[in-house]
Structure 1
Amino acid sequence: MSSGTPPTPSNGGPAVPLVPTNTVTTASGLTVRTRIDPVLTVDDVVRQLCVNLKLKDQPSNFALRDETDELVTNDNLRRKIRAKVNLKLVNAPSREAMETAEKLRLRDDTNALKMTLFTLQKYIRASRLLEPEEQFAQSFINCSGLSDLIDVIFGAHGNTLAYALTAMQNLMELDYGWSSLDDAFIFQVVQILSSPQSLINVCRPATAILKKLVEADPMTAPGLQIAGSSRGTSVLPPGSVYRYGFSVVFEQMRKGRGFLETVISRLGSADTAMAQYSMMLINSLLSHASDTRWEEFIAELERLNVRKAVVRLMSSHTIEDLTSCILDFQANFIRVIHRKKTTPVDLEAEPSHVVALKGIWTSSQLSEQTDENGQLLKWRLLGLGSENIEEEFSDVGMLGLECLRKFIEGDPDFPKIIQEQLSRPLARRCPVARASNEVVEILSEHWAIFAPGYSTSTTFQPFFLDFYRVHSLATHFFVRMWSESGASTDDFARVAALVRSQTKVSLRMENVRPWHEVEHDFNACEYRTVRERQMKELEVEDDLLSKIPIRNLRAKLYKESYEFVRQQRIQCLMQGAWFINALPANSTSANPRRPTRPWRFLRLDPGMKYLHYVDSSIKFAIRSGLEDLPERIEVASISEIATGSCAAPPHVLRESDLPPTFPPVASPLSFSLLSAHEGSIADQIAPDQSRWADWTDGLNMLRRDGGHVSSKETAGFVQALTEIGLKIKLLDLSGEMVEIPSGLVAGPPPSNTDFFFSDLV
């Protein structure tokens, strides 16, 4: 390495430098031009600079950064030399961390504290992205910097608090160093978020901090060990940050007055990032809710009408940035509905179920009677088959009970409806409560509520988020079809088939249809029209597929098909692929330039923790493994996969050789990997539709709070595999002409226990 101006040949010819020339600026403001040999290590370069500049401190106290304060490492040194990047000789990360921690303790000068925090958030963020800056994080933690930062958070306001919270948020992206955060700190963050007066730039990092604490669940810790098969308690290594989780955070949330209400209100914020942060926190809470607090948490969300707030977001002008979050919420709500449907009604163990039944009975305005055999006649008056509530709701669980209650309590004319049915002969009465349960099954089938955590919807489903309201409409339609068709007890399945047919028609294209059209379809459609359409449907459909055992079989195959496609998508990520490095679609540059390295190869590591990549000016053969991929992106840092978000740079593909448009037009094959606090960390364009579907859905399925599908191709694969598997299974039955019953009735229990099961021979 040499300093000074590059020499010029004595013959007056052009200079031919052996290596590029860089500018290096010291902390004192001294600037020198120097040639750096790209074969040297960063330590060698720093050592020679200290010698040439006659610095008295040890070379180990210094480091190199570029103009953006990115640390120069052995991995990026050659790239910065070739690009002739201006460099700065600064304090080494470990030394910078110690000085930063000392400055945090001196809080007399507000402006100095603000600048210190601004620098801290930047360096801690870099320590997560670039491995060599682990020195900064380690030194900052070892110098009690974390406790000093917490003290600032407890006493700061305005932008100072925003910088402190952002620094804490960045520090928590590390998988160590913050296990000492206690309940007092969590409650302080809750209080900050609970205040409607808190600034947006304060609320964003505070929301991200709570989200991280929720996801730091002991059961999700990497390499978790279970101690004692009988107790099943998790054993975490000392200092593990996976010691919080939903229960710890929710306990502090309950103390913060109006916390959830304020978070949900911020879904309507004009600041898109704030709405996105709030949406991600709600999704994280839904995904990690503990069994002991689940019902209480869901009830609170329902009371605050979070689903209505999300539906409003669907029609918001900021929707492009929130699509993935909303699809995540839909997937989480499917989990909620499925869990309610599979939670049995238990009148002895669940007081809330008793309260629901009392509400149903009170709203019906009926009186208990006795039948001809002197037996109690109560729930049979509402249309159930017996007085055994647990048995009657065994297929629809708590969801069926809630739907019936909302249906009855939401209709002031219900007492007239039930009295009208009771005035008819027994065989002509519409069993309203049984009809309500059947509608729950029909809607569950329509929206594929087969198993928790599996959703193939690629579009918004506002009607699904209004499940109870749709249920009321469909149940009223059931009662009307019963009356208009003159049905009797034996016609229950026939009327249910009419409702199933009308449901498909009324809920079609729900991402674009207004609600009033759905109401019109259910309320104004005549029996003759529905019957004629259903008869045409029966000509092309097999009645066998509507039987309950077949529907249950389809649900099982759906789950297996989803998991198969998920594994296939993840395998595609592990194989890797070439993509185009894209430009933001909202770029303000009228003449975008072709990037020097427009191609990027991405590959997921076997541990599924990092996306490794390399940027190149041309595509070349990539060996198996990760040796050819020096850069990486942490999967945990990806909070959202946005699609259709960026444009191809000019003159990369043949079809882009035309003059570039302004502003750049987003490619339908583009996607962006978004971080919760620094925007896009990668903008890519896939070579074809298949690769785009593989990667967008594969990455969504990798995310801890993900699970939704964004491409119609993947959703189609899951549906096709389900239907093929179902037909193959049915070949064994239909080929033998086996009669499949619509349901199975269990016989009476044994009168005693004096029996055993014989071994099959």
Structure 2
Amino acid sequence: MDQADIPALLSRLASDEDAARKMAVFKLQSSINDPAFADVFIASGGLVILRRLIMSTGGNTLAYSLQSLTRLLEVDMGWDIFEGAKAGDLVERVVELIVTNPLVNILRGAMSILVALVGHSQSTPARGGAGGSSTVRTPGQFGFRALKPAVAVYPQFFEHVIAQLQSADHALCANALMLINALIRDAVMQSSGNDGGQKVGGSQQEEWSKFIKRLQDLGLIKAVYNLMQSSSLQDLAHPLLEFQSLTKVLLRKWREVRVDLEKPEHRRALKGLHLASAPDRRHANGALLAVVAATDENGNEAAKKGSRRHNPEKWRRLGFETESPAQEFDVAGFLGMMDLTDYVRKNEDGFQKLLLEQSARPLSERCPVARASLAVTMILYDHFEVDKSDLEDVRGYQTLDASKPSDRLFHPLLLQWSRLHTAGLHAFFRMWKATGAERDDFDKVAELVRILVEQVVGQASRTKDVLEVEDDLSEYDSGRLRELQMDLLELSFEDQWGPHLYQVRDELKTEALQFVKEQRIRCLLQGSWFTKPQPRNSKDGGGSKDSYPTSRRRLYQPWRYAKLSHNRRYLHYADFSEQTAHEPGLDALTEKVDLSTISSVVSNVSAPSEADDGEAQSRKSADGASTVSTYPVGGVRDRGGPTKPTTKITIYSFVEDITGNGGEQENGTTPVAEPKEHPILTLFPLNHSLASEWLDGLLMLLNQAPITAETNKLVTLVSEYGLKIRLLNVRLEEHGAAAGPEPGAGVVPSREGLDEDYFYEI
């Protein structure tokens, strides 16, 4: 719209006809965000007419009027409308609309105006009419103070604003959240700005903290938490991130408030802790003994005096280190006191039972409840990076694709601080009991809880419910947590000592392999029993003819004993009808295999969990090369006899095979002898462990690598334990830089008995 049309527009805005006003204000909202147009509009007295429309009209005319004022304030003009004697009436009118009007388009405009009003800095000079003249602000014109008179008239204002957070209209929901953000930020800034950002005075602190508590009691946290987990994240991303950053501001501000017993609120909080701990009870040997009062007046008076005696462990029994609890809140501040008092208030019975249980333990084994609470507070504080700048989250969102908000920027669990603190504190008690910790182990348990929070809370998705997180914190296995801690410790070692650790690992793996090789060979030297399947009566005998010589095929002997000779050159074995009470000696083992003649070892041994089919082979060829593959192992037990084996180890050897028909070849040359493998011994181990020992033992005797999962796991276990032992044995004295001077070095010699007759030897 051209600036020349402004007088006609103002005439139609002041018309008595509703249709003319509605059309005029409809055109106004699309043009007033032009600073040049707005400047002429204000200079022509348009603010007075616009204010009259807001105060007296309704329906779409009112909605367009509110939208026009919103767009005028967005270009930082028209602030004079909130000044003067009638400014309070306009603010009260806007507040009234939020409380009483159900129309969404009117509610959106009214809340947008209040967002601008509360968020407008009082130090910013006002732009008036033409020429941009500025005026001096007076307290109460803008910010939270500007709303206080109107809110006093409509005390249900905050309740209605928070209720709009559940609106199906995302724009209205976003405006409501922006208004709440503006109110919180202004309240916090005003309480900090009164004393130059230093320590907040008692009245100012109570004022903003009571305001925040009032909003929380109206269901603010739950409403925003639901929004942050909802699917409408794209439309509400900016106000949600601002609320998240404001939550960090509040947590940081509460932590910065020092606990001071001169403040009534702090004294009441500590007194509440003391009373909730049932101080009038006496605990002895785990039993609760009541104080019995005498029937006469003297006795009653004595009982009263006795109950008022100062308990020397008044605060230490609650888990404080000293009898001056205020000093122990130096790190966590008033935030730590809030978390502790909130836990005790919501779990008073459990708190008393816990103190009763701890009082029955030796002093060194008692879990310090108060210290644990403060530790969990700081664990959560560090985990959520509360000290991080509150603007970084918003900037991080702006750098991403606005159509696809990143879930990693949103932390809805931050809004469930109290519940996370309680769950973390219960996890602390559980870890203390599970690990059998003592007072000196407090920091170690706290570190376990820190890792637990990082693992459960840190890896929780945006949509994961807080109840599931609480369950995970309460059920996470302490043994698994210790393994995770060792893994993290190892990673930290690798970051600092990477090259050295790699070298040590290689050395330890070689040593572990040699150690396991010797262990496996010793199993062969000790000897073992094996089963033999009964041969079938079919033509092929069901089994290898080499395994069952013709002379012995008629007499079935179900047991075979094998043993390696002391010189490790021969494998002796023999078959028996039953297991003997004593293990047979080498002289009783009539058969033997020369290890130097073995060509390969074939087996189906592998880890029990694998499910591949076929026969595994580990063959050592004539040139020393080997091929290894593993397959499943198992067995079926017959009720009437030994296990029917399915695990088999077959030892092969080369025999000469003459090709051709036995005569000379056509060219007159002698037939060529080609080596052919032939089975010479078959062993059926009784179980998987025995199969692993013998298969890998035979392979290692042939200078081949082990192939079973059990042996490789043992090698890894030995090398890892060796690494941990070496790390535990690292001392500062072993490093030259930290060795320090030798004994007696640096002592200045005495000059007693010396004269000036001396010289330097070069």
Counterparts of 2:739 and 2:336, CA distance in 1? 32
Secondary structure at 2:79 match in 1: coil
- Give the aligned length: 437
1:516–1:240 distance in 2 versus 1, CA, 3 Å: closer
Q: Give, as a single letter, the amino acid of the residue that structure 1 aligns with 2:166.
A: G
Give the alignment partner of residue 317 of structure 1, picking from 214, 231, 241. Answer: 231
Aligned to 1:213: 117
Query: What amino acid sits opposite 1:98 in the alignment?
Result: P
The match for 1:183 among 84, 88, 92 is 88
User: Quick check: 1:536 aligned with 2:487?
Assistant: yes
Other-structure match for 1:517 = 468
Q: Contact 1:393 / 1:401 at 8 angstroms: preserved in 2? A: yes
Go from structure 1 to structure 2 and tell me whether the alpha carbon gap of 1:416 and 1:375 turns closer, same or farther (over 3 Å shift). Answer: closer
Change (3 A) 1:403 1:221: farther
Please give the per-residue CA displacement for 1:281-325, whole angstroms capped at 9, x wherever unaligned: 222223332213432321222212312111111233322211222
Q: Percent identity?
A: 33
What amino acid is aligned across from residue 167 of structure 2 in structure 1? S
Counterparts of residues 257-406 of structure 1 (less than 5 Å) = 257-289=155-187, 290-291=190-191, 292=204, 293-349=207-263, 351-367=264-280, 376-406=312-342
Distance in 1, Cα, partners of 2:185 & 2:10: 36
Task: Check 1:461–1:322 CA distance in 2 against 1; reply closer, same or farther (3 A cut).
Answer: same
Deviation at 1:392, TM superposition (A): 1.3
Deviations 1:467-502 (A, max 9, x none): 110010000111111122221111111110111111
Q: 5+ unaligned residues in a row in structure 2: which ranges?
A: 128-132, 192-203, 283-305, 397-407, 497-734, 741-762
Change (3 A) 1:327 1:527: same
1:201 aligned to which of 105, 116, 119:
105
Could you say what secondary structure the match of 2:409 adopts? coil
Q: Is the 8 A contact 2:365 2:437 kept in 1?
A: yes
Q: Does 1:123 align with 2:31?
A: yes
- Report deviation, 1:353: 2.4
Distance of 1:444 and 1:103 partners within structure 2: 59
Q: Residue type matched to 2:104 in 1?
A: I
Residue 124 of structure 1: how far off its partner (Å) = 1.1
Q: Which residue of 2 aligns with 1:249?
A: 147
Letter in 2 for 1:238: T
Cα pair 1:176 1:241 within 8 Å, conserved? no
Q: Which amino acid aligns with 1:99?
A: A
CA contact (8 A) 1:267 1:275 kept: yes
Which letter does structure 2 place at the counterpart of 1:524? E
Cα shift at 1:254? 4.7
Distance 1:543 1:215, change over 3 A: farther
- 8 A Cα contact 1:97 1:137, kept in partner: no
Distance 2:90 2:109 in 1: 14
Matches within 5 A, 1:597-636: none
Counterparts of 1:406 and 1:115 in 2: how far apart (Å)? 56
**8 Å contact kept, 2:126–2:135:** no
For residues 156 and 260 of structure 1, the distance between their equivalents in structure 2, rounded to whole angstroms, comes to: 24
Q: Is residue 179–residue 239 contact of structure 1 (8 Å, CA) maintained in 2?
A: no
Residues 56-71 of structure 1 correspond to what in structure 2 (within 5 A)?
Answer: 71=1
Q: Mean Cα displacement is larger for which, 198-207 or 296-305?
A: 296-305
Residue number in structure 2 paired with 1:496: 446
Name 2:558's counterpart in structure 1. none
Shift of 1:204: 0.7
Deviations 1:436-488 (A, max 9, x none): 00001111111111245254574321211101100100001111111222211
Matches within 5 A, 1:38-57: none
Could you tell me whether the CA contact under 8 Å between 2:448 and 2:485 is conserved in 1?
A: yes
Query: Deviation of residue 387 (structure 1)?
Result: 2.7
CA contact (8 A) 1:343 1:398 kept: yes
Letter of the 1:427 partner, please give it.
Answer: S
Whether the aligned pair in 2 keeps the contact of 1:345 and 1:389 (CA below 8 Å) is no
Pick 1 or 2: higher relative contact order, CA cutoff 8 A, min separation 6.
1
2:432 maps to amino acid: W
Aligned residue number for residue 54 of structure 2 = 153
Counterpart amino acid of 2:390? Answer: G
Look up the equivalent residue of 1:474 and give its one-letter code: G
Q: Is the 8 A contact 2:123 2:137 kept in 1?
A: no
Determine if the alignment matches structure 1 residue 450 to structure 2 residue 387: yes
> Which whole-Å deviations, capped at 9, do the CAs of 1:3-40 have from their partners, x for residues lacking one?
xxxxxxxxxxxxxxxxxxxxxxxxxxxxxxxxxxxxxx
* Structure 1 Cα separation of the partners of residues 479 and 146 of structure 2: 57
Q: Secondary structure at the match of 1:365?
A: coil
Tell me if structure 2 keeps the 8 A contact 1:211–1:284: yes
Residue type at the aligned position of 1:499: V
| Matched-pair contact (CA < 8 Å) for 1:103–1:116 | yes
TM-score by length of 1: 0.53
Does the aligned pair in 2 maintain the 1:98–1:139 contact within 8 Å? Answer: no
Decide which of 90, 95, 100 is 2:9's aligned counterpart. 100
Counterpart in the other structure of 2:359 = 422
Q: Secondary structure at the match of 2:174?
A: helix
Contact 2:229 2:463 in 1 (8 A): no
Deviations 1:326-352 (A, max 9, x none): 122111111111111111112313x33
Asked if structure 1 preserves the Cα contact closer than 8 Å seen for 2:165 and 2:224, the reply is yes
Decide which moves more: 178-187 or 207-216.
178-187
**Contact residue 194 and residue 258 of structure 1 kept, 8 A:** yes
**How many angstroms apart in 2 are the aligned matches of 1:408 and 1:185?**
46
Distance 1:473 1:737 in 2: 43
